[in-house]
Amino acid sequence: MRVPKKLALSFALSGILGGLVLSSSPAMAQSASPAHADGSADCPAHSLCLYSEGDYAGTQWAYTYGDVTSNQWLYVGSGANDQAYSFYNNRVWTSEFAEDSPARTNAWSCYNGAGGITFLDDYGWLDGAWNSGASGAQGSISSYALLSSNTGICKWVAN
């Protein structure tokens, strides 16, 4: 199935994230296998993983909580910039994404808990939310934030 079980829509930026990218983050690029039958990905524990192809395949960039600064916008790095076509959030807490670096308030979204989107070409940016049925999110993620909680910024919407 191409649409994740849960889709997080974001609303207003909270005081936790100030909108500035403070630094770029180290991410090791490696080759990834396509999604498993259960829809999961080979993404390290406590990590947000971006993939250069849909279905969690191609090059993988992993950002691991504890190895990068949390609760701040970070640049994905030159290798991953505007290259993600899918992502997997192998974390219990929220991960946020932005189209630009530094992040703008009207071009970002987030995902609560474990799961991901296998084909970002099915989504677009729309005033702080994943816009299902649109296009434009593929190959456009430039910054991210690994939050240290599920802050209520994201809202689950049934697919």
pLDDT of residue 135: 58
Q: Are 128 and 100 in contact (CB under 8 A)?
A: no
In a domain, 127, yes or no: no
In a domain, 71, yes or no: yes
pLDDT of residue 114: 85
pLDDT tens, per residue, the chain with 159 residues: 333 333 332 322 333 344 444 444 456 555 555 556 555 778 999 999 999 999 999 999 999 999 999 999 999 999 999 999 999 999 999 898 888 888 776 667 788 888 888 888 877 665 545 555 555 778 889 999 999 987 655 543 322
How does strand 86-90 pair with strand 123-126?
A: unpaired
pLDDT of residue 44: 93
pLDDT of residue 14: 34
pLDDT of residue 131: 56
pLDDT of residue 98: 85
Say which CATH number the domain at 99 has: 2.60.20.10
Question: What are the structure tokens assigned to 101, written together?
Answer: 């670096």
pLDDT of residue 149: 85
Q: What is the number of domains present in the chain?
A: 1
pLDDT of residue 19: 41
pTM: 0.73
In a domain, 118, yes or no: yes
In a domain, 56, yes or no: yes
| Structural domain boundaries, residue 90 | 6-37+45-122+133-158
pLDDT of residue 140: 86
Helices first, then strands: H and E counts in the chain = 0, 14
C-alpha to C-alpha distance for 42 and 124, rounded to whole angstroms: 25
Residues counted in the chain: 159
In a domain, 105, yes or no: yes
In a domain, 55, yes or no: yes
